[in-house]
Amino acid sequence: MQANIMFDARDIVGESIIWSDHEQALYWVDIGGKRIHRLEVGGGRHDAWPTPDFPTSIGMRANGGFIVGLAHEVCLWTPDGRFETLAVPEPSRPGNRLNEGRVAPDGSFWVSTMQNNLNPDGTPKDMDGHVGAVYRVDAAGAVSRLTPNEYGITNTMAWTSTGRFLFADTLANEIYAFDYDAATKTLANRRTIVSGFERGLPDGSCLDSEDALWNCRVVGGAAVARFSETGEQLGLVELPVSWPTSCAFGGKDLTTLYITSARFTMTAQHLEAHPQEGSLLAVETGIRGAPEWKFAG
């Protein structure tokens, strides 16, 4: 599979890419750049909106508009509109921030947290704790914690058709599977399905229609790895960027994999030699992806 640079976004940390089928457009966030992108795939129109704080995730709402994770708040937003606070998952942990976020199959929004690694100007901040957790936000904004606060950098959220929830800790270089009980809305029986994979570290992911996980390998991994839901490696897509961060299937038949990337922590000398860092990429996979769910609130 050949990866091509589709858009020269120059994102500091591109993340949380999603495909809007009715618009035939991509949305994603640039955490360090404090902006939300929209790109029409056919016509190439690009729009960007500033955010009042670091945007960490985005999802679509069933009745239009978006749900957005900022540094500490989960907000409702429409392009050119205000960010209206829906929930604050960790009001008693000011040293944490939100990171991954995704709409779940039941229409709730799941977000995960981590120790804040960003200074106010977006430069890196040292971390010394594993204090992140996973939360569920329902349509009314009620928050429930699904895991203990024990993770380093929380990434990847995917729900398989077989009832598994897939999740990753970037610092641990591990991908986990949980059993998800849709009736009680709880997670149980965590097991590690990928550990010590030698290409970079795990960042964002998406599922295809075969329940396989496409996982971006950040921190020099320069690839997207495809794993079965039990952790068997099924493939590897080489990329012309060293820090791929998140991915989503899109296009008219949902077989194009779109990938965001980052230039976070990279030196000016590296970026001069590798200006493609932070770009949006596209890969024709020949494999159909799973569509995005929409928030019920």
- Return the domain boundaries, the chain: 3-284
- pLDDT at residue 40 greater than cutoff 90: yes
* Tokens (6 digits) for 14: 């591109």
Q: How far apart are CA 111 and CA 102, in angstroms?
A: 7
Three-class DSSP category at 257: strand
Q: How far apart are CA 117 and CA 97, in angstroms?
A: 8
Q: In degrees, to the nearest 5, what angle opens at C-alpha 165 toward C-alphas 159 and 168?
A: 115
Buried residues in 241-259 as b, exposed as e (16+ CB within 10 A): bbbbbbbbbbbeebbbbbb
DSSP for 199-253, please give it. SSEEEEEEEBTTS-EEEEEETTT-EEEEE-TTS-EEEEEE-SSS-EEEEEEESTT
* Tokens (6 digits) for 32: 């360090």
Three-class DSSP category at 269: helix
Residue 247: closest CA among 235, 255, 259: 259
What number is the average pLDDT over the span 274-287? Answer: 97
pLDDT at 221: 97
pLDDT at 1: 86
| pLDDT confidence band for 138 (50 / 70 / 90) | very high
Average pLDDT over the chain, rounded to whole? 96
Q: What is the DSSP letter of 149?
A: S
Between the alpha carbon of residue 231 and those of residues 220, 225, 289, the distances in Å are 21, 11, 18
- pLDDT at residue 130 greater than cutoff 90: yes
pLDDT at 79: 96
pLDDT at 73: 98
Residue tagged 């230039």 (tokens):
263
CATH code: domain 3-284 is 2.120.10.30
Q: In degrees, to the nearest 5, what angle opens at C-alpha 59 toward C-alphas 46 and 238?
A: 65
* Tokens (6 digits) for 43: 């016509």
pLDDT at 141: 97
Q: Which range (14-18, 56-60, 268-272) has the least confidence? A: 268-272
| pLDDT confidence band for 287 (50 / 70 / 90) | very high
* Tokens (6 digits) for 201: 């570290």
- pLDDT at residue 276 greater than cutoff 90: yes
Backbone angles phi, psi at 250, to 5 degrees: -155, -160
- pLDDT at residue 246 greater than cutoff 90: yes
Largest CA distance in the chain: 53
Give kind and range of the element (H or E) at residue 37: strand 35-40
